[in-house]
Structure formats: structure tokens, C-alpha cells
Homo-oligomer: A and B are copies of this chain.
Amino acid sequence: MIALDVMGGDHAPDMAIDGAALALPRLPHTRFLLFGDQARLEPLLKRHPKLAHQAEIRHAANVIGAGDKPSQALRKSAQSSMRLAIEAVRDGQAAGAVSAGNTGALLALGMFVLKTQPGIDRPAMVSYFPTSRGESAMLDLGANVQCDSRNLVQFAILGAGFARSVLGVERPVVGLLNIGAEDLKGNDAVREAAQILRESKFGFDFHGFVEGDDIGAGTVDVVVTDGFTGNVALKVTEGTARLIASFLQLAFRRSVFSKIGYLLAKPALDSLRAKLDPRQYNGAMFVGLNGVLVKSHGGTDAQGFASAISVAADMVKGDFNERIHADLDAFDHREAAPAKVAS
């Protein structure tokens, strides 16, 4: 069972209902709880008889606005579609929740309702993207603007768990994003985290530092960084891809020959476009909470929302939260060690 906040996002609720319907072929046995305005949802659901069969509407009287600050959102969240969806996870009615609503509010509510997982100080946002070698994950993508070394080590553990559950990499290779491969570069948090990761025995391999261009090269399976840098890196990737696409369009329009060339290469270029379609990589997970919580982009369409649902389903199936326990314990023991020596 997956809980959907179908009222969040620029094109909700139509987009969310259509998205759930699009996700069905990949999830034939999954059931959905649709949280939102019953009167608006009923006619929409009628358009998708198959979805109606696998889903149940749960009325939510309120919606958290895209512009609300997290603190406002928390205060007025009672009976909101977002909060009820998250509470369904807390209460064990659903194994995970998906929302395209206000990111800050979703994080605040996620922390408030689900609480952080034992051994984790702060949850993080993680997602994955295409690289030269396949797919890699990166975190944090914006949940934590400032991070210390403990946060970064915990992100490494969470990211490795994500790579196992969603990318299917049994023993992920993890890298710390820095501005130079030499040990002397970077800030204190990054240097300390690298030392801890090098000295510990976790269920993943630590590659050391990576730089910005290693992200696209797929040098590692998991790129770990603070939420400020990660968010900028993610958006720079999107912006650069958009820029190159617009330059390519201009290039193909330059002459009759290039126009014909475009038509001949169109099927290949279209399949490349599909491969790079940001809607495919739309779900960003909040990891480190007691439960699966996926944030879909606010401006997404039905196809993007379907991808987010599918990521949530992968996380649930991959037993994400269970499988990182060993690494969290290893880190806990390491941190506790000096105290033991002292006593």
C-alpha cells in the first residue's frame, strides 16, 4: 500500500491521479491510498477504472500551499492531504508516501510525524541520474544547508542503502564531493568525514574524494555532499543539459543539410532524449526517516509522478530501512569508542 498526497504540485490533483494510473502497469499488485478533496477526486478517478479498482480515496479537507513556510505548514497541517498521507505511513497503513507538494513542508512534516531513524541525526534528500557508466545516486540534495562530518558519514550510509535498494548495486562505491582530489583541500567537515569513512568497515567501499565532473562520469555509485552543494550540483546538471539541448536545436536548424540530418537521426536522438528525460529521475527520497517518503518535483506531469511512485515502490521492496542497520551500528560503535576508553 502506498499513500499519495494527490493535492500537491502545480498540476494537482489531475496530474497525480493520471500519474498513479500510469504507474499501474509496473505495479500491478500495489494498492493506493489517495489523500485529497473527495468531491474533486471522485470524478477524476472515474476516468481510470483500473486505478479505481486498486485505490481508495481518503478525504483531506486541507492543502498545504506551495508558498507556505515549513513552520506555517506544520501549524496548519491538520487534515491536510500531505500530513494524512505521511500519517498513513506512521500508522502502518501504507509502506510509503509520495507528494509533489512544498518540499520544506514535506521535510518538516516527515521529521515531525515519522521521526528520524535511530542512528541518524538529520534526514537527507537523495536521487539518482544517468552517467557514462549507468546510474549514480547523490545526496544531500537540499534538506541540510550546513553539514558536519557526522552528517556526511550518515549520508554515505543512507546513500549506499539507496544504491542497494533502488539501483541494485550490492556493494556500492561511495565518494565524497570535494574541490580537489588532494587530501589537503576542502573544508573541515569533508576532511573529517573522509577520515572516518576510510577508517571504518561499512558494507560499501569508500573511493575517497570526487570532483564535480566525476558525477557525470559515474566514477562512484554514490556521491555524498552537503545539501547546499548537492542542490546546486543537481540544478547545474539540469541547466547545462537544457542549454546544450537548445544549442543543438539551433545547430540543426542552421542549414538545409543539418535539417535533413536531424530528420535522419531523429529516432536515435529521440531515444537519447527519452533516456535523459528528467521526468524519469523525478523522485527524490527523504532518507533517514522511519518510513519511505518520496518528493516528486512540484512542476511535474503525470509521467514524472508515476516515476516518483515507482521509486517509492522500489524502496519499499528493497527493504531500505532494514538493510542499513549494520552500517549505522558500526558508525555508532566507532563514535562511542573513545568514551569507553576514557571510562
Spell out A's residues near B (CB within 8 Å).
69, 130-132, 142, 145-146, 177, 179-180, 184-187, 211-217, 225, 227-229, 231-244, 246-248, 250-252, 254-255, 257-258, 260-269, 271-272, 275-276
**Taking the nearest CB of chain B, how far is it from the CB of A279, in angstroms?**
16
Question: A257 near B248 (CB under 8 angstroms)?
Answer: no
Instruction: Determine the chain B residues whose CB is within 8 A of the CB of A216 once the complex forms.
Output: 236, 239-240, 242-243
Q: Does more than half of chain A's interface fall in helix, strand or loop, or is it mixed?
A: helix
CA gap between A265 and B265 in the complex, in Å = 9
Chain B residue at minimum C-beta to C-beta distance from A242: B216
Question: A179 near B231 (CB under 8 angstroms)?
Answer: yes
Taking A212-B235, A216-B243, A261-B261 as known contacts, 6 extra A-B pairs with beta carbons closer than 8 A to each other, sorted by chain A number, are A212-B231, A212-B239, A217-B243, A251-B272, A261-B262, A265-B265
CA gap between A174 and B194 in the complex, in Å = 35
Instruction: Determine the chain B residues whose CB is within 8 A of the CB of A211 once the complex forms.
Output: 231-232, 235
Question: B242 near A244 (CB under 8 angstroms)?
Answer: no
Question: B187 near A146 (CB under 8 angstroms)?
Answer: yes
Known pairs A232-B212, A234-B212; A271 contacts B243 (CB<8 A): no
CA gap between A211 and B229 in the complex, in Å = 11
Known pairs A232-B229, A247-B276, A255-B267; A213 contacts B239 (CB<8 A): yes
Question: A239 near B217 (CB under 8 angstroms)?
Answer: yes
CA gap between A257 and B237 in the complex, in Å = 30
Our pick among B214, B236, B261 for the contact of A265 (Cβ within 8 Å) is B261
Chain B residue at minimum C-beta to C-beta distance from A142: B179
Question: B145 near A187 (CB under 8 angstroms)?
Answer: yes
CA gap between A45 and B279 in the complex, in Å = 55
Chain B residue at minimum C-beta to C-beta distance from A253: B268
In the A-B complex, list the 9 residue pairs whose CB atoms are closest, starting with the nearest.
Answer: A212-B235, A261-B265, A261-B264, A213-B239, A216-B239, A216-B243, A258-B268, A179-B231, A212-B236
CA gap between A222 and B125 in the complex, in Å = 29
Instruction: Determine the chain B residues whose CB is within 8 A of the CB of A184 once the complex forms.
Output: 69
Instruction: Determine the chain B residues whose CB is within 8 A of the CB of A248 once the complex forms.
Output: 248, 272
Question: A246 near B179 (CB under 8 angstroms)?
Answer: no
Our pick among B215, B227, B239, B258 for the contact of A214 (Cβ within 8 Å) is B239
CA gap between A238 and B257 in the complex, in Å = 29
CA gap between A232 and B251 in the complex, in Å = 28
Known pairs A211-B232, A231-B179; A244 contacts B241 (CB<8 A): yes
Known pairs A212-B234, A236-B236, A238-B212; A275 contacts B247 (CB<8 A): yes
Known pairs A212-B238, A235-B212, A271-B251; A228 contacts B261 (CB<8 A): no
Question: B240 near A269 (CB under 8 angstroms)?
Answer: no
Instruction: Determine the chain B residues whose CB is within 8 A of the CB of A187 once the complex forms.
Output: 145-146, 228
